[in-house]
Amino acid sequence: MKRLFAVIGLGRFGYSVAECLVQKGCEVLAIDREEPKIQAISDIATYAVQCDVTDERTLKSVSTQNVDVAVVSIGENIEASILIVQMLTEMGVPAIIAKAVTNIHGKILSNLGVTEVIYPERDAAIRLAHRLASPKVLEYLELAPGYSIEEVVVPDRLSGMSLEETRIREQHNLNVIAIKKQVTRMIKGNLKKEDAFNFTPSSHDRIEKGDVLVVIGNERDLDRFSNYT
């Protein structure tokens, strides 16, 4: 049985969440008070409803209480965000994920009992800052405070070595969980370069200049490794 998601608030973030869920084969109830946003998503979402998202009776009339997960993507209007989360909690929605714009906003949402609070703008800013501070870091994902996964361009001095020879685990206290290489393939009669991932690298796999290592570990160790030349 498909899970039913409600996405309340169809700004750029909410629209993208709804679109991706539909692409993954989920059923989506998309709700917003603005008609143009509903029109924009009506051909994508399973159900698209224009209504006053801060009115409990209206939310119940479109069966919001029957969804498996509700995503509240109204972050800028903090009062509306808090009110909607409170109503969804009282309706008994099993899981609520809410967007927050400030730490205080997030704490209030947590106190209301949301399943997860997300900070899209803050997280995007952190990822950008990591890339700017360490040009060899292509992507960054925080796992827990102080620990993350990073995509790091292979340092020149490690080029041509096997993973065993690099001694990354012993010398840098990091684990390599994947290797990304660029490969050339014939696609529709044309040679094109594309990324190829090795998600089960062995100690004998060799890395070359231009390869990217997906590494996991403490952020201090990751910072030192990203500056390793």
Q: Report DSSP letters for the chain, one per residue.
A: ---EEEEE--SHHHHHHHHHHHHTT-EEEEEES-HHHHHHHTTTSSEEEE--TT-HHHHHHTTGGG-SEEEE---SSHHHHHHHHHHHHHHT-SEEEEE-SSHHHHHHHHHTT-SEEE-HHHHHHHHHHHHHH-TTEEEEEEEETTEEEEEEEPPGGGTT-BHHHHTHHHHH--EEEEEEEEEEEEETTEEEEEEEEESS--TT-B--TT-EEEEEEEHHHHHHHHT--
What confidence tens digit (pLDDT) does each residue in 130-177 have? 778 777 788 888 888 888 899 999 988 999 999 999 999 999 999 999
pTM: 0.71
What confidence tens digit (pLDDT) does each residue in 174-205 have? 999 999 998 877 777 777 878 889 999 999 99
Architecture of domain 123-226: 2-Layer Sandwich (3.30)
Region 4-118: CATH code:
3.40.50.720
What confidence tens digit (pLDDT) does each residue in 26-50 have? 999 999 999 999 999 999 999 999 9
Segments making up each domain of the chain, as ranges: 4-118, 123-226
